[in-house]
Structures are given as structure tokens and as C-alpha cells.
Amino acid sequence: MAEFEEVSRKSKLHPKPTGLKLQYGTAGFRTTAKHLDHVMFRMGLLAVLRSKKTRSTIGVMVTASHNPEDDNGVKLIDPMGEMVALTWEEYASQLANAEQEELLHSLNDIVKKETIDMSQEARVIVGRDTRPSSESLSRAVFDGVQCLGSHFHDYGLVTTPQLHYMVYCQNTQGSATLEDYYKKHSQAFLHLTKNAPVHANAQRRLLVDGANGIGALKLRELEAFLQKQLLVALFNDGSTGKLNHLCGADYVKVQQKPPQGIQMEVGERCCSFDGDADRIVYYYTNSDGHFHLLDGDKIATLISTFLKELITEAGLDLQVAAVQTAYANGSSTRFLEDTMKMTVVCTKTGVKHLHHAAQKFDVGVYFEANGHGTVLFSRAAEEQIHQLAKSPDITNEKKHAIQLLDNTVNLINQTVGDALSDMLLIEAVLAVRGMGVQDWDAMYTDLPNRQLKVKVADRRVISTTDAERRVVSPAGLQEAIDKLVAKYQQARSFVRPSGTEDVVRIYAEADTQESADALAHEVSLAVYNLAGGVGEEPKPLKL
């Protein structure tokens, strides 16, 4: 095809290292930044094809999120702001892995399979995180878009959820600015909290660990719209520290300790973003110095409870369901099912899976334990809420509830988990309900748990089933895990290959921290021995 001549010429400037194979994983491509130039160029090409196919704006976000600073990656965003469709993930891997001389053939193959009209206009929007490599990698994306004769708009430094939101707005309203994003979310927050009871706990400031990343920059911008209704003390703002190094949501969740660089007083409410601000976790320490983590499960519980109460008070008949993964703490699942009487669904890791499961309900609250999640309202549910909020013929009590609900809908970024909008929502719920972080924490008690990583020669030797809760291969591993789990009380453990790092992840929970740690270590050894561990054998945890 004539359109491809320029691709042929330009692709030589973005050569693929021969033999390098990468997979579109849990959230796009992730690896060391120096291996990604050709992938970015090719994702520019693919975004154009996806845009032509869907006749919509497509997003390309350059980020490796929670990974170390030297890594990078790319996430593709579909027309309604959701993660790219699974079939296109396969095209992404196919295109990224085509050797230099196969590239045009691979491109043609996608055009044919998807019967793409190449004369159709395309529009791609691009964003990037603060990694040193992100700017030049996003230029490779522009090259890919332009050599297919298409237009792009560069949003520059944005959080991943902001770019998701821009894609959604471009396709539904024809325009999207960051200012609109800040105005929409801050106004909803201000409306929600304006009549909140004055409560000592709710008044205190919020300490935020920005992971030395884009979330810190964007929080500063958001603050200007909040009319001092939320007092933020920002740490790890990127001015000195390294991205995600000893800080950020993933560090805090996995290590179960505060990030470096934060100065927290006993009982103070703190939260951490991850490297592209699509995750958030909360925490505090109590007077005996004990660290308390309020992760995605606790966030889901707080939000579901709030929504369920408002729906009941407003007299609406809407089903609220929760979507979790195998990492959800057993106590949270029991609380949601037994106390809250909610439907709880378990999916594979990756918000793309949770998002689709949540779409099946009137109100789907989905959160991964790592703090990645949001709430989805079906179109019909949203319509009912907006209509009732406008109705003059309802009691004052119902009016109050429906207005809170209506503002809550407006506060949520429904395209994807968003640390900034999740933070505002949590802060609003705590303020409206007059709750302190300890009250929230007391909703249920987490089972002690531990997450570990094991390096193996090829993590693809591990395959799983039942939403990753059971191992299918290698032979004998699941039996070994079952035997180890049986030694402990209230115990559960599973293993799965990561889709963002070259490791196998291990999760264990049990009635005590000692048991959870011992189980996690023993399961790591089983993985090491049965799945081809490399390097040093895992050692018991020293606490």
C-alpha cells in the first residue's frame, strides 16, 4: 500500500532489536526503556489503525506506572476511555514483535483482518509520565502516527487516568481539556462536602506521597480548584527523590510500611499514589507505632457502604456489586458478602478484567487490593439518579440522599481507576459521614497477609485457572501449595506470573502475621523448586 511507503522509511529510524519478544501484558508493554523505541513507533501505527476502525479518538499513554524509573511502557486507550479491546492487545504484540522486514506484512494483516478503510481519518492523543525516557519515547509514538498521514495531539505530562478521561471526552463531547477535568471533579467534591458536619477528624489535613511522579504535579494543579476545602501536605513531589523508589502505592502496599520521605504524626491520614496516579492506598500509624494500611479492599468497602446507604435512603432500586481479584483480603470478601449482603465477583488481575465485570451491574464497585479501581454506573442507573435529583416531589431526606448520590457520580472518573478522583471521593465520604481514618479502618479487620516475588527462568511456565486462584502448570505446584496452606489457620495462598514485571507473584494470608509470612516463604520455595527458580533460593522473611 502507498500509505506504507513512509512507514517503511521511518521504521528504519526506530529499529527493532532482532529477536526481542515482548507481550502486551496486564497493562500494556513494560520493560527497560532502552528496548522500547520501536514499540512506541509501532503503537503509534496501531493507534491510527484502531482510530480508523472505530472512527474515534484513541489514546496512547507512555508510562510504566509502578515499575522502576528506568523501565517504561505504553498503554492504549479505547474510545470510551477504557483499556484497549483484548483482540487488539494481540495485534499490539504481533506488531511489536514483527522483525523489521515483516513489519509491513504485519500491518497489512491487521488492516485486512479488521477490514480497515485506510481513507478514514484518524485522531490519536498522547500523554506521558515524568520518567526521563518518556519524552523521547512519546516522540516515537508521534512518528508512528504521522507516517500514516494522521494527526495527533500531545497532552504532554498527564496522569494515565487523565488521558483516559480526555479520550472519553473527545469522543463524547468533541473536546477535552485538563481544566475541564479539574473543574468537573473539584466542583463535585465541593458540592458533596459543602454541608458536611464539622468533625475533628474530617478537618485535619491529608498527607500525600506523590511517589515522585506525575501524580504530585497534577495534585498541585488540582489543589488550585479546591478552594482550600482539602488541606494537602505533599511529600515525594519529585523535586529530589527517584520515581517509585522507596515510596508510592506499590511500595507501601507490598512492604506494608510508610514511604520514605513522609513525616506523619500518630493517627494522621496519609495516602500514596503510584507512578502514573491510577492507584491509591491510605494508611496511618496508631499510638503504639503500629502501621495500618487501608488498601483497595478497604476503599471498596467504604465506597460501597456509602453508595448502598444513599441508594436506600433515596428509595432507588439499584444493585450494587463489588468486583475483586484473588488478592482481595478474605476478610473484605466476607464483610461485603455477609455484612453488606453484596454480590462479589472475582476476576483475573488487571483492571481491564474488573472493569468489564463491573459493567454488568447497576453499580459496580471495582478495586484491586493494590488500590487500582473505580465505580461504574450503568447508563440506566445514572439516568435514574439524575432524574430523581431534579424531581421537586420528594421528601427532604430523599432529596439530601439523591443530591449526594448525584454529586458522587460526577466525582468519579468512570473510565479507569484514578488516584486523584478516588482521593477526593474518599475524602468526601469521610467528611460527609464524619468519619476519621480509624473509624473507616474499624469496618473490618484484615487477615494478616504477605506478598513476595520469585524470579524464574521463564514465568510463562506457570498457568492458572479459577481467576488465578489455582495453578494448572507446572505439575505438582498446586498440590504443594494445598499441602502448605493446610498447615495454617484461615490460610489461603496463590501464585501467578506478573504481567508487568519479570517475576512470579506469591500471595499468602493466614490468622497471624508469622503464619502468613511463613506460608508465603514456603510457597515461594515451592515455586522456586518446581517452576525453575533462578538466582538465590528465597530466604525466610526477617521482620
Please tell me whether 369 is known to bind a ligand: yes
Maximum pairwise Cα distance, the chain: 71
Distance of alpha carbon 377 from alpha carbon 237, whole angstroms: 33
Q: Which of 37, 78, 209, 274 binds ligand G16 (CB under 6 A)?
A: 274
Output 247 or 351, the one with its CB closest to ligand G16. 351
Is residue 59 a contact residue for ligand G16 (CB under 6 A)?
no
Is residue 131 a contact residue for ligand G16 (CB under 6 A)?
no
Is residue 498 a contact residue for ligand G16 (CB under 6 A)?
yes
Is residue 500 a contact residue for ligand G16 (CB under 6 A)?
yes
Q: Which of 11, 370, 374, 413 binds ligand G16 (CB under 6 A)?
A: 370
Please tell me whether 464 is known to bind a ligand: no
Q: Which of 7, 22, 27, 163 binds ligand G16 (CB under 6 A)?
A: 27
- Do the beta carbons of residue 4 and residue 10 sit within 8 Å? no
- DSSP-assigned beta bridge partners for residue 496: 505
| Closest approach of ligand G16 to the CB of residue 387, in Å | 34
Indicate the SS3 state at residue 533: strand
- Do the beta carbons of residue 253 and residue 370 sit within 8 Å? yes
Please tell me whether 129 is known to bind a ligand: no
| Closest approach of ligand G16 to the CB of residue 371, in Å | 9
Find the binding residues for ligand G16 in span 281-310 (CB under 6 A).
none
Question: If you search the block for the grid coordinates 471495582, which residue do you land on?
Answer: 366
Residue type, 182: Y
Of 435, 424, 303, which is closest to residue 358 (Cα–Cα)?
A: 303
Residues with Cβ within 8 Å of 466's Cβ and at least 6 positions away in sequence, in order, are: none
Output 139 or 353, the one with its CB closest to ligand G16. 353
Distance of alpha carbon 173 from alpha carbon 79, whole angstroms: 12
Q: Which of 38, 66, 348, 492 binds ligand G16 (CB under 6 A)?
A: 66
Please tell me whether 368 is known to bind a ligand: yes
Among residues 11, 51, 65, 138, the one annotated as catalytic is: 65
Output 27 or 39, the one with its CB closest to ligand G16. 27
| Closest approach of ligand G16 to the CB of residue 380, in Å | 27
Sign of CA dihedral 74, 80, 81, 87: negative
Phi-psi region of 235 (alpha: psi -120 to 50; beta: other; left: phi over 0): beta
Angle at 173 between CA 170 and CA 178, to 5 degrees: 55
DSSP code at position 537:
P
Of 478, 474, 498, 496, which is closest to residue 486 (Cα–Cα)?
A: 478
Is residue 368 a contact residue for ligand G16 (CB under 6 A)?
yes
The grid coordinates listed for 205 are: 489535613
| Closest approach of ligand G16 to the CB of residue 40, in Å | 17
| 65 catalytic per annotation | yes
Q: Which of 499, 513, 529, 541 binds ligand G16 (CB under 6 A)?
A: 499
Distance of alpha carbon 357 from alpha carbon 115, whole angstroms: 29
Is residue 279 a contact residue for ligand G16 (CB under 6 A)?
yes
Q: Which stretch binds ligand G16 (CB under 6 A): 260-268, 346-354, 428-436, 448-456?
A: 346-354
Exposure letters 85-123 (e unless 16+ CB within 10 A, then b): beebbebbbbbbbbeeeebbebbeebbeebebeeeeebb
Q: Which of 123, 185, 505, 521 binds ligand G16 (CB under 6 A)?
A: 505
Is residue 351 a contact residue for ligand G16 (CB under 6 A)?
yes
Q: Which of 26, 159, 374, 384 binds ligand G16 (CB under 6 A)?
A: 26
Output 232 or 281, the one with its CB closest to ligand G16. 281
Q: Residues annotated as binding site for substrate?
A: 368-370, 496-500, 505
Catalytic amino acids?
65
User: What residues line the site for ligand G16 (CB under 6 A)?
Assistant: 26-27, 65-66, 274, 278-279, 349-351, 368, 370, 372, 498-501, 505
Q: Residues annotated as binding site for Mg(2+)?
A: 65, 274, 276, 278
